[in-house]
Amino acid sequence: MHLKRLLFGLSLWAVAMMAPAVLAQEAAPAAGTEPPDPFLNLKAFNPDISAIVDMFYYDENSDEGMSHVAGEIAGFGHAHPEAEGEGHGHGHSHGPEKGFNLRHLELQFSGTVDPYFKATAIAAIDLDGAEMEVAEIETTGLPFGLKVKGGKFFSDFGYINAQHSHEWDFTDQPLIYQLALGSHGLNDKGLQLSWLAPTPFYLMAGAEAFQGDNESSFAYHGEGELPEDAGPRMGVGWLKFGPNLPGYHGLQMGVFAATGTHQEEHDGDGDGEHDHWLDGDTTFWGGDMVYKYNAPHAYGQGDLTVQAEYFSRKKDLDLVAHELAPQFVGNRRVDEQDGYYVQATYGFLPRWRAGLRWEQVGLANESELPSGVTEDFDASSRASLMLDFTPSHFSRIRLQANHGSYETEEGAEDVTEVYVQWMVSLGAHGAHKF
């Protein structure tokens, strides 16, 4: 028995002594071959994966639905006088339904590809189907503070455009974004070049070229009566600045501008067929500001964020064809509108926040029609109050109420809206930007 134990112990000792040599021999590359790339499997089979479920209950008191009201806001819709042969405007988005809504299920895959690139893919899935929201590749090792991003992505102009809906401090987006860029903001196929300046404070500049396929401000058809225009059809430039503030304070300010092709085709007599077409360009510009105070307390108590953006848009279009009013062909249609929002959120208790938002659209609101008639419209406004509770980093419950006074083609209309929102996040999810 003692002899067997001794032999067994010697066998284990021999295996232990031989193991490093065997492993080293297996790890060593064969003669004439290259050593393995230490970054080969860095993230190849282990991307960060997350899923975000965003649902809410919605109610409002308008006569024909808030989406109809938004589509008829004076100056921002496509409605023109009946004398010009056009009917009412078209809505900018479908909007939520009364009752329960599932905004979407957001699936995100992201990770470092190799020492040179990282990538992100995001699919937004709702009850009607799936949409590729983001599919972007980004460099990680360029010198001199340069970075290149390509694919389908949200423009980094302004502050809120690059945020996904679950990052918003309010359930819905600001009116100026909804009316000027549509429910998805500026999200398109393109290329971005950004530069982080080697300054003692934060300074970043960026230029973007997009194909040009926005649903509201950079629409492109390129068929029938409208001329074809090869992409890219729009460009964006922005600059962001952040001074070094003491303690728990942070501040970022920015300016931006964009220009690109814009085309429209309309059905003026309501027979289901397009009968007039416009071609030209859209230009917008504006600025943004965000101040944050990160209080030295747990779970967000005492945190304060103040955020504001201003946005001005000009559409300059030529009437290229009009079957109902051919005498106006060749004349211009120019629309100029603007808008802003200001909002603040405050953590009044651990995990509890309250927020207030005020916004106006159409302070400058003028349309010069192909007939030579110029129309001026009044501004619309909306106030929002929000209360949310964040049990953990992965869930949030929110109550929000809006009250708006809207100037529409059919007259002034007051609408009150209520949201009860519930969001959860599953899996690894990267930190949000400043």
Can you give the pLDDT of all 434 residues of the chain as single tens digits?
A: 443 443 344 343 333 333 344 334 434 444 444 555 555 455 455 788 999 999 999 999 998 888 889 888 988 875 443 334 443 333 345 579 999 999 889 999 999 999 999 999 999 998 888 899 999 999 999 999 999 999 999 999 999 999 999 999 999 999 999 999 988 899 999 999 999 999 999 999 999 999 998 878 898 998 888 999 888 999 999 999 999 999 999 999 999 999 999 999 988 878 888 889 999 999 999 999 999 999 999 999 999 999 999 999 999 999 999 988 889 999 999 999 999 999 999 999 999 999 999 999 999 999 999 988 999 999 999 999 999 999 998 999 999 999 999 998 888 999 999 999 999 999 877 667 77
pLDDT on residue 7: 37
From the list 308, 283, 258, the residue with the least C-alpha distance to 157 is 258
How many C-alpha atoms does 305 have within 13 Å on its Cβ side?
Answer: 18
Structure pTM?
Answer: 0.84
pLDDT on residue 26: 39
* DSSP symbol at 228: P
Instruction: List 316's β-bridge partners, or say none.
Output: 281, 334
Q: How many CB atoms lie within 10 A of CB 340?
A: 20
Phi–psi pair at 289, nearest 5 degrees: -150, 135
Distances in whole angstroms, Cα of residue 201 to Cα of each of 145, 264, 295 = 14, 44, 22
Which tokens belong to 2? Answer: 């003692």
- 331: Cβ contacts below 8 Å, ≥ 6 apart: 318, 319, 370, 371, 372
Query: What CA–CA distance (Å, rounded) separates 298 from 296?
Result: 7
Report the CATH fold assignment for 64-100+152-421. Porin (2.40.160)
Instruction: Find where tokens 């609101």 sit.
Output: 365
Contact 159, 127 (CB under 8 A): no
Query: What CA–CA distance (Å, rounded) separates 406 from 413?
Result: 5
Query: What CA–CA distance (Å, rounded) separates 129 from 56?
Result: 19
Query: What CA–CA distance (Å, rounded) separates 195 from 207?
Result: 9
pLDDT on residue 358: 98
pLDDT on residue 34: 52
Query: What CA–CA distance (Å, rounded) separates 85 from 325?
Result: 7
What b/e string do you get for 368-386 counting C-beta neighbours within 10 Å, with b at 16 or more?
bbbbeeeeebebbbbebeb
By DSSP bridging, strand 48-60 and strand 99-112 are: antiparallel
- 181: Cβ contacts below 8 Å, ≥ 6 apart: 161, 214, 215, 216, 217
- 59: Cβ contacts below 8 Å, ≥ 6 apart: 98, 99, 417, 418
Contact 407, 378 (CB under 8 A): yes
- 363: Cβ contacts below 8 Å, ≥ 6 apart: 338, 339, 340, 379
pLDDT on residue 88: 36
Query: What CA–CA distance (Å, rounded) separates 218 from 267?
Result: 19
Q: H/E element holding 19?
A: helix 2-27
* DSSP symbol at 274: -
